[in-house]
Each structure stands twice: as C-alpha cells, then as structure tokens.
Copies of this chain bind each other. A is one copy, B any other.
Amino acid sequence: MTKSVTFDFNKPEENLGYLLWQTTMRWQRLMNRALEDIGLTHTQFVILAALGWLLKQNDYVTQKDIAEHSNTDRMMVSKILRKLQADGLVIRREHEKDTRAKIVEITDEGIEILQKAIAIKTQANEGFFEKIDNKSRFRTELENLIS
C-alpha cells in the first residue's frame, strides 16, 4: 500500500542553506512588524535609507545610484520610490542634463520617518542578534559568503 520512498537526504534542519533561509525569513518578519507602525516595509526602509545615506555625500542622487548602493534592482527602486513619493516621503524630478535620469530628494516627512525607522530597526536588530556569541566572526562569515 504505502509506496517505498527512499531519499538520500538529511533532515532539512541540518542543511545550512535551509537554516540561513529560515533565519532570514524570521528576521524579515520581525523587521516588517517593527516598522509596521510607521507604515514602512523593510524593503522600503532599505531604499529610503540608501537615499538618505547617499544624500550625505552627494549633491544629487539618481535612482540608479540608489539601486547600486542598496543592491536591489532598478525595477524595485522604481516601484518603491513611486510608492514613497505617493506617501510624501520623497520627491522625484528630472535630471536637467540627462533627461533619462530622475533626481530623487527626501522630504522633511521622509527625514522624520527615516529617523524613526532607524531607531526602531536598531532596537529590533539588537534584540534579534543578541543571541550571537561572536558577532564579528559571524559578520566575517557572512561577508565571506557575499564576497
């Protein structure tokens, strides 16, 4: 009756990739819930934070700059910036010299939300990673994986 099913694989929990995936899913849920109160998702925060970061060092910032800096693709940046603009957190206008490009600015409300978000995320992250024994080693391992 029961089909004999024999697979040559370990428990999923023993797989590093599965563990990594589970961990990140949990982290992302936590971040999204933490940011929920101020109406941002994790990814929206990443884009907004990248914009804020870039504005500290550059006169103007294009969508391409944000995409490069945040390691997300330009499609995602395009979508999310439109959403952030609709919410009044950023402004997009044409580049004067390169009419293909869009200059992105942050509004006062955007700055306010971003600052709140940074505080929220800092606290949430501290809670999440407090169980790590050796943070610098863990960071190094992650950096190895991305390098």
Contact = CB atoms under 8 A, between A and B. Distances in A.
Main SS class of interface, A = helix
B144 A141 contact: no
A53 B20 contact: no
Given A125-B17, A138-B141, A12 B146 contact: no
Nearest to A138: B141
B12 A49 contact: yes
B19 A139 contact: yes
Each complex incorporates copies of this chain amounting to: 2
A21 B3 CA distance: 39
Given A145-B23, A145-B132, A17 B5 contact: no
Chain A interface size, as a band, is: 35 or more
A16 B139 contact: yes
Contacts of A3: 55, 105-106
A84 to B, nearest CB: 15
A122 B16 CA distance: 10
